[in-house]
Every structure is written in C-alpha cells, then in structure tokens.
Structure 1
Amino acid sequence: PNEGGLSVYGTNVLMNVTEETSGLPARNGRYTSTEDAREADASIPEEFDAERVSGENVRENILVDEPTCHSCPVACKKEVETSIMHKGEEMNVRTESYEYESAWALGPNSGHTDRDEIAVMIQRCNDHGMDTIEAGNIMAMAMELTEKGKLEDLGDGIDWGDSSEMIDLLERIATRETELADHLAEGQAHMAEAFDGHGSTLTVKNQAIAAYDPRCMKGMGIGYATSNRGACHLRGYTPSAELLGIPEKADPYEWEGKGELCALFQDMHAISDSFDICKFNAFAEGIEEYVKQYNGMTGLEVSEDELMEAGDRIYTLERYYNNLNGFGREDDSLPARFLDGEGSVPGQGASEGEVCELDPMLEEYYARRGWVDGVVPDERLDDLGIEVGPGTGVSRGDSAAPADD
C-alpha cells in the first residue's frame, strides 16, 4: 500500500502528532510533550526531542524491510536494524517491533530519545517476554523515585534518561538479579507500597497507561478509567476521533460528550475484537460493515441495533465480573497528576492548564451504560439477557454501589 500514515510510518506515525498537540506524556507524565519538558526545565538537554524517535525518523534512518500480516491492506509493520556501542561492546539488533507505544514508554516517558538504544531495549523486552509499556513505565517511576530519594536503600537507583543503564536494568528485571530489579519486577503497585510511591504511579487498576495524555485527550482519560482491564488504550480508542478524525473529528480538549463517545468505542471494539479484526482495518469500517460480515459468516440476519447490543453486553459482562470481585467507582480512577486537586500537574504547551475532568465524564458514562457508581444493577443484567452469577444486589434506584458486599 505505502499510502497513508500507518502504511508509510507504522504506528509510530503518532509520535510527532501527540508531541505537537501536547498529548505525549513525558518524564513519567510530568510533562505533556518533550518540548514542554525542555521549556519548563532548563537542565533537560535539547536532544530530548520526540522527533528523534518518530516514525519519520525511523523510516529515514534504520528501516530495512516492511513485512506485513497476510493480505493486510494497511501493512503497518516496520522492520528496523541498527547497532550501538554499549559499554565497549557492539550490540546489533533487527526487530519488527519498533512501535509507537514501545518507543514512547522506553523513550520520552523515561527521559531520553535515543532511537537506536530504544530498538535494543525493545528487543531485550521481546527476548524476555516483558511488556514494553509496563517496562517503560516502571523505569520512569523508578527514575522519579530515585530523584525523590526514595530508593536510597537499594543503591544508586536510576537517573532520568540513563538509557545505557536501562538496557542493563531490563535484563536484571527479567532475571531479578539485584534487589532493585527484584522490586521493579513486581510492578508499580508494589513499588508504591514498598517505597511510598503512590504519587508516582501512572496506573489504573494496577495497569500502566499508554502514550496518550488524558490532560489533552479527555476521551482517553475516561477510557483509561473505565477500561475493565486497567489503563488500556485499545478497549475504547477515542484518539481515533480526537486525533485522527475517524469516524468524525472530536475536540480532544472538550470533556462533554466523551462519556458517550467512550462507551460507543468500547462497544464497537468489543464487536471487532470478537471478530478478531485488527483495529487499523476497523478504522475504515462501521457497524454497517460489521453487520454484513457477521451475517455473511453466520447466515443469520441480525440488525445494527442487535449487534451494537451484543457489544454492550460483552462490555457489561466484563464489568459485572469485575463487580463480583469488588470493583466499583473508586477503581474507575486516574493518577492524581492528571486530575484537579492534590498532586495535580496541569498540562503545558498546547495543553496549557488542562486537567482531565474525570468526575463529570464518569457521570455521563454511567448514565449511558445504565450503571450505578460503576456497578451493573440487576435490572441492567436483565435488560441484556445476562443470566449467569448471583447478580450484584444493586438496583437502579441506589445512589451508591456496595460492589464488595
């Protein structure tokens, strides 16, 4: 194909886009872009620049092949090859995994933008079966805790942007080789408890956020908060509308209507995920195409409304399961630095002064879902034909939900 941003640059086409909109969390989400970080802190070097790890830069300098999934019309996969000198040793890497989220987590969010060292880190994570988003986020948290002096009992910790040390620390985390690495391997929730780091976590339901700043993209904020598996950007990918204008443009900084938008995307993605359709192909499709595909595959004749209800049922069933395990509104949260109030860090640059207006979006979202404080009432289970389990014991008339009863 080689037409359109995803085909030409892969997922990393988004790096410059989020940088320019001040929607790229940098240095553990303290800043809303690398430029915003440089302007706020004179000690941050000029080479801390997201463009250096962008899809455009990667294509120009280290791209070697463009393999793709069978018959895919998007062909977003980009294979890179590079080598670095690491502590006197030449390290060569060839990988197909230089993705936007990985490059962000192991780069700008960790305080550096060394394109080639990021490739080595990505491959190291792949070799050890480590998630790159979680790995990059735990690195950034460790850097912030080091700066605050909270890791002194574990030795030197790790400084902002120390990409050389990151390469080695990833290996040590995988093997739990040192005391610091052993703690980091337990994740952000453990680090928060063990080292008084609650103010330095970027997690929802103990899963780390991705490369979309909720101070800029309010729909992603409500999406992180209400994702049933934690801060997942793929369960309700509102940046499709907020950044890319698909299916239509939505103002990323406007919170009103984002609860409705988020629920719509979640239901649509529940359908496409059930079809096992890549989201990049799903961008070009809507409920009309899904109905044709489903009816063609099954021989049934479901309507658009019936298929959308199936998406709603899937998402609600997941939430019901969470409710039965004690999850409620208090878990539909965001890190304090993204919100108004204690610990808030408002956005900068194009997102100057912005925070994520989570509470009013939650009210809008729950109303759209028919939930009560994040809990599915028994009447809603009946509406959707969900007949498994004991029910939540919550009624539509309740003002608070005893999700852990």
Structure 2
Amino acid sequence: LPTYGTQVLMNVINEVGALPTRNHRDVQFEGAKDISAEAMATPRKTDGKKHLVTNQACFGCTIACGRISKMDESHFSVQNKPEYWGASGGLEYEAAWALGAANGVNDLEALQYANLICNEEGMDPISFGATIGAVMELYEMGVLTKEQIGIESPFGSAKALCELADMTAKGIGFGKEIGLGSKRLTAKYGHPDLSMSVKGQEFPAYDGRVIQGIGLAYATSNRGACHLRGYTIASEVLGIPVKTEPTEHEGKPELVKAFQDATAAFDSAGICIFTSFAWTLADVAPQVQAACGEEFTMEHLNHIGERIWNMEREFNNAAGFTKADDSLPKRLLTEAAKTGPGKGVVSKLPEMLPKYYEVRGWDNEGRPTAQTKERLGL
C-alpha cells in the first residue's frame, strides 16, 4: 500500500479474471496495464514525468495509501486549461476501474481528469463511471444516439468520458440524465437489466461471478452493492486470513456473514478497515477497552457487529425492502464469464442466499426471526 496504494489491485484482479469490463460484459481488460499503479509510477513518453507525484496519508497514518498525481499538460482534456495543471488526488483503484475498465478506457490522463471533476464537484467516481458504462452500452446498442448524448460514446472513448464528466457535473445536456444514476437511467430507456447495481447502488470493481462470495456480499449488503461492508476479496483473492477458492460457492454464506459482522465492529470502533488485513477483533478488543473503560472481548465485538447488521436489516425491512432486493443483475446470473480462471462461471446466488438466511438466523423471506432478535437484544 505505501508503494502502489490501492491501485496495486488493478493487475492483480485482472489476472484473476474478475475485473468487470465494459459494463460487466467482460471480466478482463486488455488495457489494464495502461491504467495500473505501475503505469502511474512510470515516466510518460510525452513529457518524461511520472503521473504519480507523491503519497497521501490520513492524519497520523504511516502507511499513506493515498495518491497525489499530476496530469500531462498537453493532454486534450486540460490543454490550454492551466486551472487543471496542478496536482490532485488519486487515482485510487475503485475510481481507476470505474472510469477506466468499466468503460473500456485505457487513457490514464483521461481517467485522472474525470476523477478530478468527480472530486471537485462532489460526484462518486464509482457510481458515475458505472453509469457511463451503461450509457456506452446503450449507445452501442443503438438505444441512445450521438444526437441525444451530444457526443459519440462507444466503449473506449476517452473523449466521451471527459466531456460527460463535465456535463454531469454542470447538470447540462445529457449530463442531467447521467445524474439519475444507472438504475433510473436504464429503466427510463427500457433496459433496466443493464444497470449493474443492487438496491440502486452501482457495483464496485470486483466481478460477482468469478468471486462468488463478493457477489453474495453485494446482494445482501444493507446499503446496496458495496465492497466495504464485507470485503471477502481478502480471503477469496488475497488469502487473508485464510485462502478460499473464489469460484466455489460452498461455504461462502458463512464467510460473508463473518466478514460483514467483523466489518461492522471495525467501523464502529472508528478504525481504518485496512487494519483488518493485519488485525482481528481480538487485537481491537483491548484498544476499545482502553478507550471506553469497560471490558471488551473478541466475542463481545462480534456480537456487536452482528447486532448492527441486524438492526440495519430491520430498518430496511421496515422501509419496504424485501427478499427480492437481495438480488444481482440478470447478466451475472445468466451470462458466464468469457475468459480467465472463472471462464464459464455464473453467480450461484440462488444456491447461496437461502443458506445465508439460515446462517443469519432469518426466515425464508430474509427477516430476522424472533429468536435472533431476542438473542441480539433487538
């Protein structure tokens, strides 16, 4: 992380065959190396300067996983625009994926420009990039036209990415439509299945077919598709704390529950989730005890995490969410991965979800049972 930041994952996930590409039509991106951490640290051919300027750290952190980068001033997106010539944050892995591989764009400078616009204008680069992926697919299908969008927008168009970022940030032209997000935009144009999202939130940078556990985590996350509420990538890809086979669905309900509960406890303690690669809740317990003056054990923290997860679930159920919302897009359930180690694999969500409910102590409709609520004090 100090050397390459989260962007170290770009080539790793691509090699695993789990890098969602062109709105999840593919699972490997031929241009991954062009937008990777290694590319950011390599001098450009145009001006001999590195894209990456330095690291960035949260207060008091010695790891400094953040990135500070500076664009090539001759790039079309900022040419004759000196206001954009300074250093800016990023690229982080999720943003580089969403703006790059998700849209088939391998222009590192274009990704940095779109990321800058997202940061400056308060847009989430993951949701923005994933929505652009849906727009580009609709364009290639002929559902959307150049006249409607305002620019030719095939997969791989760095120019379209940059111009659509500007339009969305300013809320002008087709940018207003992009601002709806992929779920509402694709539904408006008659193709809701092209929104790669759960509960209205767009997917992050891991394919839920090739990595079965993360697919289940997306489907059951209380806040919609999210990698930060149950990062099973740690186990399924990185082997932390134990290695599990990514394409295997057996045992994943238990794995997902364990990660979700532990993550809820880590987050509530105010601890950076990256520490979970080295620490367990057994390491966190004495720190929480020292801060709060009360006794905490690993079992106590696990109980707290599980209680939090179920409280959130109860809120969602009361708000109208049902079992039907614990789903994945049709593409992940019916269109198999085309290449890589997971070639031929689709998500086994229908097999995993009932077992997940059982492990959670929920009924067949995904509602915490009376016994579970009593045990957790809800």
TM range (shorter): over 0.9
The one of 361, 364, 375 equivalent to 1:370 is 361
The one of 23, 28, 32 equivalent to 2:18 is 23
Q: CA deviation at 1:95?
A: 1.6
Q: Which residue of 1 aligns with 2:68?
A: 79
State the AA in 2 paired with 1:14: L
Q: Which residue of 2 aligns with 1:399?
A: none
The one of 312, 317, 328 equivalent to 1:318 is 312
Q: CA deviation at 1:103?
A: 0.3
The one of 87, 96, 110 equivalent to 1:94 is 87
In 2: Cα distance, 1:32 partner to 1:89 partner = 37
In 2: Cα distance, 1:347 partner to 1:294 partner = 46
Aligned residues: 364
Unpaired segments ≥5 residues, structure 1: 1-5, 36-48, 387-405
Contact 1:93/1:123 (CA < 8 Å) preserved in 2? no
In 1: Cα distance, 2:377 partner to 2:68 partner = 46
Following superposition of structure 1 onto structure 2, how do residues 113-152 of structure 1 map, counting pairs within 5 Å?
A: 113-152=106-145
- Summarize deviations over 1:124-180 as a string: whole Å, max 9, x none: 1111100000010111100000111112372556221111121111111122211x2
Q: Which residue of 2 aligns with 1:196?
A: 190
Q: CA deviation at 1:85?
A: 2.6
1:348 and 2:339 correspond: yes
Unpaired segments ≥5 residues, structure 2: 43-49
1:206 and 2:200 correspond: yes
State the AA in 2 paired with 1:132: P
Q: CA deviation at 1:345?
A: 4.0
Q: CA deviation at 1:33?
A: 0.6
Runs of 4+ in 1 over 6 A off after TM superposition: none
In 1: Cα distance, 2:291 partner to 2:368 partner = 31
Contact 1:224/1:232 (CA < 8 Å) preserved in 2? yes
Q: Which residue of 2 aligns with 1:360?
A: 351
Q: CA deviation at 1:97?
A: 2.0
State the AA in 1 paired with 2:13: T
In 1: Cα distance, 2:117 partner to 2:231 partner = 28
State which drifts further: 135-144 or 169-178. Answer: 169-178
Contact 1:30/1:345 (CA < 8 Å) preserved in 2? no
Contact 2:336/2:343 (CA < 8 Å) preserved in 1? no
Q: CA deviation at 1:208?
A: 0.2
Tell me the SS of whatever aligns to 1:65: strand
Q: Which residue of 1 aligns with 2:45?
A: none
In 2: Cα distance, 1:268 partner to 1:125 partner = 31
- Summarize deviations over 1:6-54 as a string: whole Å, max 9, x none: 121000000000010101000000000114xxxxxxxxxxxxx101111
State which drifts further: 355-364 or 202-211. Answer: 355-364
Q: Which residue of 2 aligns with 1:70?
A: 59
Q: Which residue of 2 aligns with 1:3?
A: none
Tell me the SS of whatever aligns to 2:87: strand
In 2: Cα distance, 1:116 partner to 1:154 partner = 26
Q: CA deviation at 1:93?
A: 4.6
Q: CA deviation at 1:242?
A: 1.1
Contact 1:236/1:266 (CA < 8 Å) preserved in 2? yes
Following superposition of structure 1 onto structure 2, how do residues 107-118 of structure 1 map, counting pairs within 5 Å?
A: 107-118=100-111
Q: CA deviation at 1:375?
A: 1.6
Tell me the SS of whatever aligns to 1:351: coil
The one of 243, 246, 257 equivalent to 1:249 is 243
Contact 1:142/1:157 (CA < 8 Å) preserved in 2? no
Q: CA deviation at 1:315?
A: 0.5
State the AA in 1 paired with 2:141: K
Alignment root-mean-square deviation, CA: 1.5
TM-score w.r.t. the length of structure 1 is 0.87
In 2: Cα distance, 1:346 partner to 1:283 partner = 28
In 1: Cα distance, 2:220 partner to 2:97 partner = 23
In 1: Cα distance, 2:300 partner to 2:97 partner = 39
Contact 2:14/2:29 (CA < 8 Å) preserved in 1? yes
Contact 2:286/2:297 (CA < 8 Å) preserved in 1? no
1:293 and 2:300 correspond: no
State the AA in 2 paired with 1:170: A
